Amino acid sequence: MSKLVPPHGGKGLVCCKLHGSELTAEQDKAKGLKQIEISARTKGDLIMMGIGAFSPLNGFMGKADWKSVCEKYALADGTFWPIPITFDVSKADADEIKEGDEIALVRDGETYATMKVNEKYTMDESAKKWECEKVFKGKGEESADDKFWEIAMEDHPGVKMVMAQKEVNLAGPVKVLSEGDYPDKYKGVYLTPAETRAIFDERGWKDVAALQLRNPMHRSHEYLAKIAVEVCDGVLIHSLVGNLKPGDIPAEVRVKAIDVLVDKYFVKDNVVQGGYPMDMRYAGPREALLHATFRQNYGVNNMLIGRDHAGVGDFYGLFEAQEIFEEIPSFEPGKGLLCKPLKIDWTFYCYKCDGMASLRTCPHTKEDRVILSGTKLRKALSEGQEIVDHFGREEVLDILRAYYQGLTEKVEVKMQGAASGDTMK
């Protein structure tokens, strides 16, 4: 019998993906339905629902769920859920859809799902703003009342994403028809909750930690994962392979860097590398809760939460994503979150400690510690410079150097093109 934490919400893994003849029949049917082009975020959410990663959700949220999630961190039935999972369409499309209709959800020529629309509700500017303030506004400097909107509309990808939503939300259950190119593109890394659970069960794991990754894995991340390995049965190094903000390092590069790191610096039996298809919201504390929620579905009961988890800019306090786990209301048995935070402080290499440490374990000074800003790091990598000792593993840095140098070369090629008379588009 599995010793793992049960999926969230008490209904087992709720997987909306169809298979076999059901799938082909639904694919045929979809061709005759009204086709709605979906956003990248919606595609990611559909696949998450398809594979059971968003259990117990079986579709997009209606207004009551949306409001309750924003206000009370709960679905209307009282089950914990931290971030609205909604689906937006234009008013023109919405006008052509009646409640009860079935529609096909497509992107780039691929039909990702069919959906039975059982609710339509308008999301006007003020509703979107209300959602953003509930979901994205934190305790960081840039979340201050007098600054939030001005800065967020420029610099908060999550806020911009919600504010760019179309005018109407459609709600209802979905049947997922495709996982896109994830299974092929990230073969062996793109794992469904059923697959990670099977791996954990086979290894006899009970206490499993997850490390959320959307950046390359340096010593600091490695330290978090290794603390988890020391105190849990194993760790899921879980990379976002969905969409990030511009400038972030692509998933292929990150996955390759994790491969080499696990190969050279981890005991393989204690690690599983996986990728999940959701897009980042950059919702800081609320996203940390979402990360824990869907990790529970993957069989994880300890979510590593470090400094500024899922944050962006200065919208969140550095440890707000840890604190929120104590601040959310308590839930009825069976309706609450069972995946607990594994909170780790700011981590770094310290010369005096002679190893990795955090502000909780290292009593020394800034001068003793290796701390490198992302900007300086990117500059050094793209210029092929040496990186300060103990910051990252050489094998990982080599992969990043190659990636950044490739980028630089591309820019140079473009610049040369521009110089020789071509226009840059």
Q: Which is nearer to its own copies, 241 or 321 (CB)?
A: 321
- Taking a C-beta distance cutoff of 8 angstroms, is the pair 75, 69 a contact? yes
Q: How far is the CB of 350 from its own copies (least distance, A)?
A: 10
Q: How far is the CB of 325 from its own copies (least distance, A)?
A: 13
Q: What is the DSSP letter of 53?
A: T
The span from the CA of 334 to the CA of 181, in Å, is 35
From the candidates 107, 214, 307, 378, give the one annotated as an active-site residue. 214
- Taking a C-beta distance cutoff of 8 angstroms, is the pair 321, 305 a contact? yes
For the chain, the farthest-separated pair of C-alpha atoms sits apart, in whole angstroms, at 68
Backbone angles phi, psi at 411, to 5 degrees: -60, -45
Q: How far is the CB of 355 from its own copies (least distance, A)?
A: 3
What are the helix and strand counts (H, E) for the chain?
A: 15, 15
3-class SS of residue 424: coil
Q: Which is nearer to its own copies, 299 or 306 (CB)?
A: 306
Q: How far is the CB of 124 from its own copies (least distance, A)?
A: 44
The span from the CA of 7 to the CA of 58, in Å, is 14
- In this structure, the strands spanning 208-213 and 234-240 are parallel
The span from the CA of 86 to the CA of 57, in Å, is 11
- In this structure, the strands spanning 87-89 and 168-176 are antiparallel
Q: Which is nearer to its own copies, 104 or 225 (CB)?
A: 225
What is each CA distance from 402 to 38, 46, 219, 397, in whole angstroms? 34, 34, 19, 8
Q: How far is the CB of 352 from its own copies (least distance, A)?
A: 8
Q: Which is nearer to its own copies, 187 or 268 (CB)?
A: 268
Q: How far is the CB of 333 from its own copies (least distance, A)?
A: 16
The span from the CA of 30 to the CA of 414, in Å, is 42
Task: Give Rg (Cα) of the chain.
Answer: 22
The span from the CA of 114 to the CA of 23, in Å, is 11
Which residues of the shown chain bind its own copies in the complex (CB under 8 A)? 226-227, 229-231, 264-268, 270, 342-345, 349, 352-363, 390
Q: Which is nearer to its own copies, 98 or 268 (CB)?
A: 268
Q: How far is the CB of 268 from its own copies (least distance, A)?
A: 7
Q: Which is nearer to its own copies, 28 or 367 (CB)?
A: 367
Is 301 annotated in the active site?
A: no
Q: Which is nearer to its own copies, 231 or 413 (CB)?
A: 231
Q: How far is the CB of 267 from its own copies (least distance, A)?
A: 5
Q: Which is nearer to its own copies, 19 or 268 (CB)?
A: 268
From the candidates 215, 302, 360, 378, give the one annotated as an active-site residue. 215
Classify residue 390 as left (phi > 0), alpha (psi -120 to 50) or beta.
Answer: left
Q: Please report which residue ranges of 164-284 form alpha helices under DSSP H.
A: 182-185, 193-202, 219-231, 251-265
Amino acid present at 195? E
Is 270 annotated in the active site?
A: no
Contacts with 111 (C-beta within 8 Å, 6 or more apart), sequence order = 27, 30, 31, 35, 104, 105, 177, 178
Of 293, 239, 276, which is closest to residue 55 (Cα–Cα)? Answer: 293
Which residues are catalytic, by number?
Answer: 214-215
